[in-house]
Structure 1
């Protein structure tokens, strides 16, 4: 534990814990391998990944369902696929590889999203463009519906055929995939990172200041940091049973303490004390066969949640007993105790 604390302390002092930025940077770096996969089909690593995982239904990527353990590098890469695919689009050549319905190649949405009624009644949902339109003009329109289409579907079909009337297929050029965030159409880590950074639905990030700027023992900070990243919970086969994640709990403000600096510090102390005491209680029950009663368990949380703010600059000069009474009163008024 001492070695771990020293390592984390050196990383923190070196300025590498950049919170949300480092998480999104890692996602962008993983996206690079998704881009390289379809462009390096003859590479040995591509063949190994393809032989192990199989191909995705879109024909461009590896299968995103990886049944290996959590230590498999490609499993981490496939978890980025959903974010990565939002910024890719297809340049139509001969239409042999691009899926007519599910790939993004015509307009701002896939045709399955633009014409959901038609998509529901087609037989082959992964059919390529060339199989529907044919190889010559006029187009053959081989939609192959599995049942008769009715008035609404006929109207949608008419609109679809009109929108594709001026589509030009270049039969001597293969289909290609492009990166929508770059004028050159080529993937860059920087463009992916900036898109994720400004995206409201970007991957959840750890509230760095919540832990590292708070006056608690460093081993407690290190532990909470690992818990928030689900390193401890998963390895110990534990489940967090609150409605939201630990990171979410650390990101919100509890109104019972107010929105002042002191109120925020009290909420930080309560969250960290809860996590720390639960972990120590778990270890005591497993390794020492000891279990405290609920009153003693609550007293431990209550004591640490008062002691840590008492040691901070925000509550300098305020007696510990006053903090304990105020903390208890705030929780009682909100129905927590």
Structure 2
């Protein structure tokens, strides 16, 4: 896929995510690299098309290595030739080689450090240069011995001596050993002594990234897009009991990227930054959801319903990370995990009524919204027959 095409498609994805089906131009609140991270790391799991395209192209290099009898492989092999061992085609260098296989062959470099070999007869695996015993090529593990190896391109089979009863390893070198090199040779033989050749079995390529040794586009994509990230409460945010729009809001709040007054000011808006609910402090998402005196009343209600005493952390993200519920039973813990997202949503909806509908703050409406939503979202978890709102509240307190 040409780079300009992938960039255009990703722009359409971004505009759809933040602007909706009409592709309206609206603020892109979270960096696209963050959006494309795995959900466990704090992203939305959206695939980067450029990386996905490379992983898909690389799959054809894997298929070339293992599908030796397929017709398409014979065609490619006859046209471009094979590297020694037959695991890959030769690099396409000719001016006429500007088609699809030239681009596929380029992406074969992605496999270089991610494959190992399961040795059978040893005829297609390099003794020094391929990873066939241990996690690194022997030329890297024993560089001083590799420097005077008799053949740096030798196959594994060439160093296997079948004259004994069980066979033994007999690597060859270009000169006699010096005294200080004997110990290194002994270490080499000790390292590979557990390896044995099976004359009737073909050598096999193994994909190191997966546990079963088979290539997958997903595993390569994840490896290429790996990015360090701090703790993120993905399990709590993407709760199946909670509506997806609420989970998405909690995800935005965890990154501090909700369009509160402080964010509008950062984007150049000339607005007075004041919390719509308490009218006492500057508005930020952490203030609205955690520190606002009006929201605190809702937190007090939540803790009273579960009979829990807890000190709230500084931010919404830290609150979700620390929201464990170890002291509760299994069913109560499931409701407990949905409770902070329900509270976040109730507070945000109340804030928006004040900001956009010119309504006055109502603590009764805030608490009623929270309790009713929590009941509707989680009553299926309780699974104790028809559950009215009063009986649901009684059940919460009877943990």
Per the shorter chain, which TM-score range?
A: 0.5 to 0.7
Q: Rate the CA distance shift 1:111–1:75 in 2: closer, same or farther, 3 A.
A: same
* Structure 2 partner of 1:29: 56
Deviation at 1:10, TM superposition (A): 7.5
Mapped pair 1:13 → 2:12: yes
Q: Rate the CA distance shift 1:58–1:114 in 2: closer, same or farther, 3 A.
A: farther
> 1:41 is matched with which residue: 53, 68, 75?
68
Mapped pair 1:74 → 2:74: no
> 1:198 is matched with which residue: 211, 222, 226?
226
Gaps of 5+ in 2: 17-31, 37-47, 229-262, 271-399
TM-score normalised by length of structure 1: 0.52
Q: Rate the CA distance shift 1:166–1:6 in 2: closer, same or farther, 3 A.
A: closer
Contact 1:58 1:103 in 2 (8 A): no
Rounded Cα–Cα distance in structure 2 between residues aligned with 1:82 and 1:6: 23
Mapped pair 1:173 → 2:201: yes
Deviation at 1:196, TM superposition (A): 0.9
* Structure 2 partner of 1:185: 213
Gaps of 5+ in 1: 201-260, 266-312, 317-337
Contact 1:91 1:175 in 2 (8 A): yes
> 2:115 is matched with which residue: 75, 82, 88?
88
Rounded Cα–Cα distance in structure 2 between residues aligned with 1:194 and 1:93: 30
Contact 1:58 1:126 in 2 (8 A): no
Rounded Cα–Cα distance in structure 2 between residues aligned with 1:105 and 1:46: 24
Deviations 1:214-233 (A, max 9, x none): xxxxxxxxxxxxxxxxxxxx
Q: Rate the CA distance shift 1:26–1:158 in 2: closer, same or farther, 3 A.
A: same
Q: Rate the CA distance shift 1:14–1:125 in 2: closer, same or farther, 3 A.
A: same
* Structure 2 partner of 1:148: 176
When the two chains are superposed, the root-mean-square deviation of aligned CA atoms in Å is: 3.5
Equivalent residues, number: 204
* Structure 1 partner of 2:306: none
Contact 2:119 2:204 in 1 (8 A): yes
Q: Secondary structure at the match of 1:121?
A: coil
Contact 2:133 2:195 in 1 (8 A): no
Deviation at 1:65, TM superposition (A): 5.1
1:264-275 alignment to 2 at 5 Å? none
Contact 1:57 1:126 in 2 (8 A): no
* Structure 1 partner of 2:298: none
Contact 2:118 2:132 in 1 (8 A): yes
Deviation at 1:114, TM superposition (A): 0.6
Contact 1:87 1:180 in 2 (8 A): yes
Rounded Cα–Cα distance in structure 2 between residues aligned with 1:163 and 1:102: 16
Q: Rate the CA distance shift 1:42–1:195 in 2: closer, same or farther, 3 A.
A: same
TM-score normalised by length of structure 2: 0.45
User: Higher relative contact order by CA 8 Å / sep ≥ 6: 1 or 2?
Assistant: 1
Q: Which has the larger radius of gyration?
A: 2
Contact 2:83 2:90 in 1 (8 A): yes
Rounded Cα–Cα distance in structure 1 between residues aligned with 2:107 and 2:154: 25
